[in-house]
Structure 1
Amino acid sequence: MASTASYDEIADWYESEFLNRPRAVTGDGHPLSLDVLLSDLLGEGSGTCLEIGCGTGIHADRLRALGWTPIGVDLSGGMLHYARERLPVAQADAGHLPVRDGFLPAAIAVMVHTDMPRYPEVLREAVRVLRPGGVFVHIGVHPCFCGGFAARGHREAVVIRPGYLDGRWTKASWTDKGVRDKVGATHWPLPELLHAFLDAGLTLDRFAESGAPTPAVLAIKGTKPR
């Protein structure tokens, strides 16, 4: 999974500066602008919803508004320092969730899959802890238009350079004001990402994109078969 130290070192900046920076769209992956996707794909429900890689816990209020009871798991103690004020949390590796088999009705992972080099393992863990019929919602940077290969500095266009098919970790970023140039990111080409969902045993139900003029976010809803 992502290095604990990487996010520990930027936790204060993330909470006090990054989250409070105004943004009109989700083009830079700002997590506060993703409520609509959570509402549309996860929807209203009841019971416990686990956020895998919860960071500072900023999605807890949206989950509660939808009727869910949020809990969070993250590797970074620095991020959890802030998250504890927003929801119950546990410090743990996303590849080894401290949850028993078939316990949860829902789980989400929001803007974190590029922090997790073993994301297929995380998806398998999500399926393990979901009950049959349970829902998993992935919201992440768009693999086709975001990454070290994509220059997003122009307001009306994205320049795609060679590198999309490489599937590698990098700190290359189109901006020095975001997260990726600080902690890096693992890139998953679209087919590899979708195959990871299928290989984990999820039935893919819905998809959504967000960001303008070129999508910066891809969201996927999957269900554990009954």
Structure 2
Amino acid sequence: MGAVTAAYDEIADWYEQEFLPASSPGDPLGIRRALTDLLGPGSGRCLEVGCGTGVHAEQLRALGWTPVGVDLSSGMLGYAAGRLPVARADATRLPIRDGVLDAAVAVMVHTDMPGYPGVLREVARVLRPGGTFVHVGVHPAFCGGFADRSDPQAVVIRPGYLDGHWTKASWTTQGVRDKVGASHWPLPGLLHAFLDAGLTFTRFSEGGTPVPTVLSIKSIRYA
């Protein structure tokens, strides 16, 4: 994960000052809607895993949660520190005691984490029994190096979906993957990682049109 961290350190200014403003108008991918619908109103501490620059903290607070964040990139955390309490940490080794958090979210970051199954195990460890984890991520069936999305009306799926590989191949130069790369899990592998971590699915949603860009998952850590 060190290479990913270094890459995000290098693009932190671009991400905050150019990428986010260009992608922020409205909610075209349904990310905010997914957090509202799947996480919903609540209270207590909510950990954002891979919080980046902390852009989701305001929404978490509006829902009633007390957000805290962890990320590996010191460059990204330089922006996040003004938005929520943060710690620089490897998400596969969270500096948090067992069973103390009420909720956790991971928003558009799982492809940045080659060890995401281990991240899910850590999330399950730090959640209290009955705690909620919401995953909002790029859709594994329609996004990746195998998916040509240059025509928004007709995504072309090429060989590579089943490979589960890391790549910088991208249909656009305006996004993140061509700059830092991305890991890919086919849908069964992603879902199995939740089950193996001891997380129980409760709801799903998709976002983006006309072909979904985002798959969101609500899960519960039961005793």
What interval of TM-score do these two structures reach, taking the shorter chain for normalisation?
over 0.9
Moved over 3 A (4+): 22-27
2:200 maps to which of 199, 203, 214: 203
Cα distance per residue 1:33-90 (max 9 Å; x no partner): 5111100000000000000000000000000000000000000000000000100000
- The number of aligned residues is 221
TM-score by length of 2: 0.97
Q: Secondary structure at the match of 1:145?
A: coil
- The code of the aligned residue for 1:14 comes to Y
Q: Does residue 62 of structure 1 match 2:63?
A: no
Distance 2:31 2:140 in 1: 17
Cα displacement (A) at 1:127: 0.2
- The code of the aligned residue for 2:5 comes to T
Query: Is the CA contact 2:27–2:33 (under 8 Å) kept in the aligned structure 1?
Result: no
Query: Is the CA contact 1:26–1:216 (under 8 Å) kept in the aligned structure 2?
Result: no
For the structure 1 residues 160 and 25, does the alpha-carbon distance in structure 2 shift closer, same or farther, using more than 3 Å as the test?
farther
Cα displacement (A) at 1:4: 1.4
Q: Secondary structure at the match of 1:144?
A: coil
Q: Secondary structure at the match of 2:93?
A: coil
Cα distance per residue 1:145-165 (max 9 Å; x no partner): 000000000021100000000
Distance 1:169 1:126 in 2: 23
Cα displacement (A) at 1:181: 0.3
Distance 1:109 1:25 in 2: 17
Residue 5 of structure 1 corresponds to which residue in structure 2? 6
Q: Does residue 116 of structure 1 match 2:117?
A: no
Residue 185 of structure 1 corresponds to which residue in structure 2? 182
5+ long unaligned stretches in structure 2: none
Distance 2:100 2:173 in 1: 41
1:74 maps to which of 58, 71, 75: 71
Cα displacement (A) at 1:124: 0.1
Q: Does residue 92 of structure 1 match 2:93?
A: no
Q: Does residue 130 of structure 1 match 2:131?
A: no
